[in-house]
């Protein structure tokens, strides 16, 4: 089986193609639709206070007595700034693990995909986010929704891992 598993060249975020992708969705080849890629940049550091105590929902607490050091979202979400980008989620194949349409997935290209990792990949010219599964020489993509069947990857399919999903951001 000959399957390519690699992350894209780090220059992809600065390329002309990326600039087109940032303008929402672009078409390439035979109607391939590419989602908008969003570079993750730490332009300014913004810190928010973090409380050490656990806060139960619905029960008031004098939390100011438990103020901890400030939390920097850049440190929390971006381990490898030059290799990190974000994509907006469409579809419902990963709802079983809490990834919903409209969420923003933070993808790190510096991390190698391992069995069980949630990855952003290109399968037969289409972007997809699925759980990466490998047992011996068998490779497949697994959804986190029983309505979607596993997708076997064999030598007849074009497949490439673009990065590992490290975080998902959702607005309430």
Sequence-ordered alpha helix ranges (H) in the chain: 16-22, 73-77
Is residue 144 within 8 Å of 96, Cβ to Cβ?
yes
Closest CA to 89 of 49, 129, 119: 129
Q: Catalytic annotation on 16?
A: no
Q: Which of 16, 61, 114, 130 is catalytic?
A: 130
Q: How far is CA 145 from CA 3, 53, 97, in A?
A: 25, 34, 8
**Cα separation of 22 and 13, whole Å?**
9
Paired sense of beta strands 126-135 and 84-88, if any: unpaired
Q: Which of 2, 93, 114, 137 is catalytic?
A: 93
Closest CA to 141 of 111, 166, 156, 161: 161
Residue 25 makes CB contacts below 8 A (sequence gap 6+) with: 33, 34, 35, 36
The residues assigned a catalytic role are: 93, 130
């Amino acid at each position: 089986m000959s399957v390519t598993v690699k992350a894209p060249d780090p220059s992809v975020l600065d390329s002309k193609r990326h600039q087109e992708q940032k303008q929402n969705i672009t078409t390439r080849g035979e109607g391939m639709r590419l989602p908008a890629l969003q570079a993750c940049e730490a332009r300014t550091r913004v810190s928010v206070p973090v409380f050490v105590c656990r806060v139960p929902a619905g029960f008031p607490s004098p939390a100011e007595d438990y103020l901890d050091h400030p939390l920097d979202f850049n440190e929390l979400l971006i381990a490898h700034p030059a290799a990190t980008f974000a994509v907006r989620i469409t579809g419902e194949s990963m709802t079983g693990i809490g990834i919903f349409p409209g969420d923003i997935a933070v993808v790190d290209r510096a991390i190698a995909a391992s069995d069980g990792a949630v990855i952003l990949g290109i399968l037969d010219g289409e972007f997809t986010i699925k759980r990466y599964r490998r047992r011996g020489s068998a490779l497949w993509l697994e959804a986190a929704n029983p309505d979607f069947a596993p997708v076997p990857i064999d030598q007849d399919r074009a497949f490439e891992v673009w990065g590992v999903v490290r975080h998902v951001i959702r607005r309430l």
